[in-house]
């Protein structure tokens, strides 16, 4: 069935009510196994730093968080809305497992990079793969005959519940990466949690960063509804508003290297994945003028070996990003404490390399007076290659320091990168999140962190 644009607009408004009726209607919590494959960077001095992939991610982050100061005004103009869900105490999935089994699929991890899991769509259900991303809010599902898309593709003609529209959808980044299609709706299920009439972008063309190299097919944004370009209610918030979850939160465990067990727990936490208590911090909407758009919390500072290196800033936790992006002045202050660190010639300003053999000091974000360090293994994004050295030879500034560093051993790229966007904030990616179990509590309007069991 094809809906006119006016009809799909009505469906967007009704989706939270119609779609959030779970099947069966009971409070649920489920573990989503996440597989892991190389996204952009490696984290070993024995493997090369991927220059092209790093630039693509930088472009994506720059576009994703562009014009933050005007976000709320723009969102209000587009008719987007805030959402309220009930606050419920975090539910530990392990307490359920003691009484009964639950749907669980372990996430397989290969080299550090992209984390993705299974999603089914349509009637009968067709399975595809999705990158779960806390830095965006749209659901993108590639469809049959999609050009440049990863697989498996969703065959819309084989679903009796698929409803299309003529309303176009497009996301494009500065490097030319784009995803195009039209808005549609269908039944969507993740780990047994089902939303009927879930609105999503039925993608017919992808290029650049969106094509994912065929590693996975689609993208599920898990940020707040105000961010959704489609103006559709995200899958998680549909479940939460329908009171379908045991707790109105989700949590991530991102395994390191070749370790297995990465998972997304929807409606729950998993106490086997972390040590100690989960410390919660209120969400910070200061970078979007008071409207909650991102999963962001306020940091007191970034410290190096316990000494304050930067001022406080708002931190957006983004599972769809590998590196950590801070204002360039902050990056400079941090790398000033790493022996042999130097601006990486041939790379954008704010990008630093350091001798792979250097002892990395403890670099930590401070939230509520508590320090959360970046593991030194995760700080290493890979070794510079001859390609990067040749690129550097064409850049006079900093080349002498670069050569001096080379004499001390192979240079590696650091996970903290400078990127100025006019607002005092950091994009905190997997280089931090692998070391800390993260809990995204929509009901409590807070974000929690605990030490990951790696």
71 within some domain: no
**Domain end among 211, 244, 272:** 272
The DSSP bridge pattern shows strands 416-418 and 411-414 to be: unpaired
**Residue pair 433/113 in contact by the 8 Å Cβ criterion:** no
**How crowded is residue 231: how many other Cβ atoms within 10 Å of its Cβ?**
22
Mean pLDDT of 50-57: 82
Domain boundary among 206, 240, 272: 272
- Can you give the CATH number for the domain in which 255 is found? 2.40.70.10
Q: Is residue 142 one of the residues assigned to a domain? A: yes
Cα atoms found within 13 Å of the Cα of residue 246, Cβ hemisphere only: 18
148 pLDDT higher than 80 = yes
Look up residue 166 and give its two tokens: 């003529």
Which residues form the domain of 363?
275-452
Do 268 and 338 lie in one domain? The reply is no
pLDDT number for residue 202: 97
Which residues are within 8 A (CB) of 113 and not within 5 positions of it... i.e. 6 or more apart? 36, 37, 38, 39, 40, 41, 42, 322
Does residue 138 have an active-site annotation? Answer: no
- This prediction's pTM: 0.86
The predicted-structure confidence for 325-369, as pLDDT tens digits, reads as follows 999 999 999 999 999 999 987 788 899 999 988 899 999 999 999
Q: Please state, as a whole number, how many other Cβ atoms lie within 10 Å of the Cβ of residue 5.
A: 12
Which of these three, 272, 291, 321, is where a domain ends?
A: 272
Between 108 and 243, name the one with better pLDDT.
243
Asked whether residue 194 is assigned to any structural domain, the reply reads: yes
Q: Which residue is catalytic, options 133, 175, 375, 378?
A: 133
Q: Round to whole Å and give the CA distance between 454 and 447.
A: 21
* pLDDT-based confidence at residue 174 (cuts at 50, 70, 90): low
Catalytic status, residue 133: yes
**pLDDT tens-digit map of 252-298:** 999 887 667 889 999 999 999 999 999 999 999 999 989 999 999 99
- CA–CA separation, 197 vs 370, rounded Å? 43
| Candidate list 138, 209, 318, 375, residue with the active-site label | 318
* 67 inside domain: no
Task: Judge whether residue 229 has pLDDT over 90.
Answer: yes
The band of 101, judged by pLDDT with boundaries at 50, 70 and 90, is very low
Same domain membership, residue 314 and residue 182: no
Q: Please report whether residue 200 resides in a domain.
A: yes
């Amino acid at each position: 069935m094809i809906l006119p644009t006016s009809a799909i607009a009505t469906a967007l408004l009704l989706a939270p009510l119609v779609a959030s009726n779970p099947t069966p209607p009971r409070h649920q919590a489920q573990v989503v196994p996440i597989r892991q494959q190389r996204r952009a960077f490696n984290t070993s001095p024995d493997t090369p730093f991927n220059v092209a992939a790093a630039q693509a991610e930088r472009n994506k982050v720059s576009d994703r968080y562009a014009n933050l100061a005007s976000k709320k005004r723009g969102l209000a103009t587009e008719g987007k809305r805030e959402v309220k869900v009930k606050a419920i105490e975090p539910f530990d999935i392990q307490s359920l497992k003691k009484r009964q089994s639950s749907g669980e699929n372990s996430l397989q991890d290969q080299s550090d990079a992209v984390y993705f899991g299974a999603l089914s769509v349509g009637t009968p259900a067709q399975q595809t793969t999705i990158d779960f991303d806390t830095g965006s809010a749209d659901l993108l599902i590639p469809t049959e005959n999609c050009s440049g898309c990863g697989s498996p593709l969703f065959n819309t003609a084989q679903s009796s519940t698929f409803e299309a529209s003529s309303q176009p959808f497009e996301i494009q980044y500065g490097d030319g990466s784009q995803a195009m299609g039209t808005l549609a709706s269908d039944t969507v299920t993740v780990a047994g949690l089902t939303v009927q009439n879930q609105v999503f972008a039925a993608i017919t063309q992808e290029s650049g960063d969106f094509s994912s190299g065929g590693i996975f097919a689609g993208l599920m944004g898990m940020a707040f509804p105000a961010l959704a370009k489609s103006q559709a209610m995200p899958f998680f918030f549909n479940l939460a508003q329908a009171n379908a979850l045991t707790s109105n939160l989700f949590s991530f465990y991102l395994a390191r290297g070749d370790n297995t067990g990465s998972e997304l727990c929807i409606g729950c936490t998993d106490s086997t994945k972390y040590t100690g208590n989960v410390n919660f911090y209120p969400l910070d909407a200061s970078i979007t003028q008071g409207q909650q758009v991102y999963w962001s919390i306020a940091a007191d500072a970034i410290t190096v070996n316990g000494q304050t290196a930067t001022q406080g800033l708002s931190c957006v936790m983004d599972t769809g990003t590998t590196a950590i992006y801070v204002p360039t002045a902050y990056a400079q202050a941090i790398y000033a404490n790493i022996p042999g660190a130097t601006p990486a010639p041939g790379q954008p300003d704010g990008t630093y390399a350091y001798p792979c053999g250097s002892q990395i000091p403890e670099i930590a974000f401070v939230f509520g007076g508590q320090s959360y360090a970046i593991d030194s293994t995760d700080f290493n994004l890979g070794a510079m290659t001859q390609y990067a050295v040749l690129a550097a030879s064409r850049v006079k500034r900093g080349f002498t320091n670069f050569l001096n560093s080379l004499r001390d051993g192979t240079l590696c790229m650091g996970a903290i990168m400078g990127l100025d966007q006019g607002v005092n904030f950091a994009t905190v990616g997997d280089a931090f999140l692998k070391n800390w179990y993260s809990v995204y509590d929509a009901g409590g309007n807070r974000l929690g962190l605990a030490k990951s069991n790696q």
